[in-house]
Amino acid sequence: MRTEKEKMLAQELYLASDPDLLQDVKRSRRLTRLFNQTTEDQLAERRELLKELFKKTGENFYIEPPFRCDYGTNISIGEHFFANFDCVILDVADVTIGHHVMFGPKVNLFTAGHPVDPTVRSSGLEFGLAITIGDNVWIGGNATINPGVSIGNNTIIGSGSVVTKDIPDNVIAAGNPCRIIRQVTAADTRLWEQRQRTYWAEITTNKHGMEQMDD
């Protein structure tokens, strides 16, 4: 007979009140409490707590406290992941986040779902559906990603969006429900690469000027 945890991870109906799952929740609460109580000088401690909490991490990542999750053990994050204040991830199913992903403040990822029928819902049964976020994704503040959603590579989700369906690669999407606004185009690439060149040219010029003053 399968355990409730096995049913949960299989994205089937399960009872969250199962004693083994409650122990897993207790572990998560302890680690997130310790993480959220760290100071701005305890960056190494924060990193180690998150590596213990999560299923998988890259070597370079940063999450700004406070942070909340259900279990942590179902969350995988890639290299150079950043999440701003008040991120919440309900990870009763797998949450997989790619490389170079940025979250604005108050971004929510909810894998948890509940039966539509009120009687079944009242019984305590629930389920989860996995969330997958590709590489180079930027999710704006106060956005909510609902159960079962996948977001493609290089995509931007606008602030305040409620994402209820999959969003493909290379688009800008926003709204409630979230819809595609436009593609990320070659013109965008040219514009931002030019602005990047201008930035570095200014840095180089200023550095050269300072060196001349030192001479």
Which amino acid, 28?
Answer: S
Helix (H) or strand (E) holding 9: helix 4-9
> Which residues have a catalytic role annotated?
114
Taking the C-alpha atoms of residue 13 and residue 28, their distance in angstroms, rounded to an integer, is 22
101 with 133: CB under 8 angstroms? Answer: yes
**pLDDT tens figures, 12-68:** 999 999 999 999 999 999 999 999 999 999 999 999 999 999 999 999 999 999 999
**pLDDT tens figures, 117-136:** 999 999 999 999 999 999 99
Was domain 4-184 assigned CATH 3.30.70.580?
Answer: no
Neighbours of 67 (CB within 10 A): 20
